[in-house]
Amino acid sequence: MMKFPTHFISVFTALATLLFPVVLPPTSSAQQPVTIAISKTSPNYEHFLSRSDSTICVVDMYSLTIDSALLQLKGCDALLVTGGEDVYPGWYGKEKEIGRCTETNLHRDSLDMALISLALQLKMPVFGICRGHQIINVFLGGTLVIDIPTDVPAPIIHQCEDYLHCFHPVFLPSNSLLSKISDCDSASVTTNHHQAVDQIAPVLSVNALSKDKVVEGAEWKNPADKSYLMGVQWHPERMEKTNPLSGMLADEFINQAKKYAANKHEDGL
C-alpha cells in the first residue's frame, strides 16, 4: 500500500525551496503582460479569464514535468487550480475508500500540490475551482467527502449528466471575502461534483454552503500577511459573466494577479 507524508505543507515547501529557490527571472522596465499558470487548462478556463481581460497570457502546467512547471510558475503572476479527477483519498487518510472514487490521478495530485506550495511560498494569488478547491483544502490539512450521494443524503443534486443545466443556490456568510467580492449573499451556480470538502483545513474558513450544508467555497481564516486565496466548488467558467459568482471572481483574481506583477516590478524582480 502506498504511504503518504502526513504534513504536506512542510514536505512540499521544503522540496520547492531546496530544488527551486525563490529567484524570479528579471523583467524589463516595460509593462509585461500578466501571465496566469493553469494547473490543467481547457478552452473554458481560458475564456473565463480572457472575457475579463483579453491581454492575459496563460501557461498550461499539465503539459510540463513537475520540475519544469515549478520553474515556469516563478515567472507567472497567479495560479489557477482547475477541475478534474478525484483527489486520491490516501492524501487525507481515507485510502481504504479508494473504491468509492470514480477516477484518480496521482501525477496530477503531486503537480497541483507542488504548484500550490510554491505559489503560497511566493505569496502569489491562488484560485481553485472544483477539484482545485478540494485539493487546496487537502494540501492545507483538510479532508473530503468521498461520495456526496451516499454520505450526504439530501434533495440537492450536485452532479447530473446535463451539467451545463445543473444549478443550485449557494449561500455566503456576509463577513466573507467572497461575499464582498461578489456583492451578494446568495446566487445560483452550475455544479458537477460527487465529492466535496468535509473537514475544512485549520487555516481556512467556509465562505459558501448549499442548502444541504455541503461546503461550496473556502478562503483564508486569517488573511493578514498572506496572498490572495479563493476556492469555489462550482464552475464559474461555465456560467454567464453577469452571474456575480462568475465574472466578479475572474475580475478580482486578475486584479490580484496584476497587483502581484506590479509589486514584482517595483521590487526589481
Question: Rounded to whole angstroms, how far apart are CA atoms 135 and 84?
Answer: 11
pLDDT at 245: 96
168 strand-pairing partners: 189
| Residue 20 placed within a domain | no
The cell numbers describing 143, all together, are 479532508
Asked whether residue 29 is domain-assigned, the answer is: no
Closest CA relative to residue 229, chosen from 110, 139, 148, 143: 139
Measured between alpha carbons, how far is 56 from 75 in angstroms, rounded to an integer?
14
Catalytic residues, by residue number, are: 130, 235, 237
Per the structure, how many domains does the chain have? 1
Q: Is residue 30 part of a domain?
A: no
User: Is 250 inside any structural domain?
Assistant: yes
The CATH number of the domain where 90 resides is what? 3.40.50.880
Q: Residue 257 has what pLDDT? A: 98
DSSP state for residue 229 in the 8-state scheme: E
Q: What is the pLDDT of residue 32?
A: 76
Residue 88 in domain: yes
What average pLDDT values come out for the chain (269 residues) when binned by 10 residues? 53 56 47 91 96 97 97 98 96 94 94 98 97 98 92 65 74 96 93 88 96 93 96 94 96 98 76
Does 121 reside within a domain?
Answer: yes
Q: Structural domain of residue 74, as residue ranges? A: 35-266
Q: What is the pLDDT of residue 21?
A: 56
Give residue 27's pLDDT: 44
173: left (phi over 0), alpha (psi -120 to 50) or beta: beta
